[in-house]
Homo-oligomer: A and B are copies of this chain.
Amino acid sequence: MPAMADETLFQLLHTQVVAAAYGAGRGSGDEGLRAGLTVLEGMGFRVGQGLAERLPQGALAFREELDTIKFLCRDLWGAVFGKQTDNLRTNHQGTYILQDNNFPFLTQMAWGQQYLEEAPKFLAFTCGLLRGTLSSLGIESSVTASVTSLPA
């Protein structure tokens, strides 16, 4: 049943989670938007912690911070989205930029103005996921997301 892959299942559930965070009168206005983002980020954080706790012990023994980030780009992205990130940049001073040109949670969305307004809702969980995974790997971080261009 290739069309019912787990990846699809996770994405479908994520879509419902975003909808629930902004449903039933919640999430209207700027304050509501922020409240929803906080909820989604927190859920991502705890899922990230859970994933990290299930890693083989050997995977946790990264020597360099950059190795940990590469692990996120390759293995975490692979487990969650079935692919790797397209690019990783760093200023070698603790700032890392992970680029995904076809981020699955965004490519599902419709095009246009609403897209730009809605995009943060579909990024918050993944920001939390990265932050939670890093936290369990011993790295306190701040993770933000930005959309610089619309997916093809």
Bound complex: CA A56 to CA B46 (Å): 34
Interface set, chain A 48-88, CB cutoff 8 A to B? 50-51, 54-56, 59, 75-76, 78-80
Residue A7 contacts which of B6, B47, B75 (CB distance < 8 angstroms)? Answer: B6
Interface string of A32-52 (1 = CB under 8 A from B): 000000010001001100110
Instruction: Determine whether A16 belongs to the interface, using a CB cutoff of 8 Å to chain B.
Output: yes
Bound complex: CA A75 to CA B56 (Å): 29
Number of copies: 2
Chain B residue at minimal CB-CB distance from A15: B50
Interface string of A1-36 (1 = CB under 8 A from B): 101111111101111110011000000000000000
Count of chain A residues near B, Cβ 8 A:
32
Interface string of A101-125 (1 = CB under 8 A from B): 0000000000000000000000000
Given contacts A10-B10, A13-B14, A14-B13, whether A5 and B79 have CB atoms under 8 Å apart is yes
Chain B residue at minimal CB-CB distance from A82: B6
Bound complex: CA A16 to CA B75 (Å): 22
Bound complex: CA A83 to CA B76 (Å): 24
Given contacts A13-B13, A17-B17, whether A79 and B4 have CB atoms under 8 Å apart is yes
Bound complex: CA A59 to CA B4 (Å): 11
A136 to chain B, nearest CB (A): 12
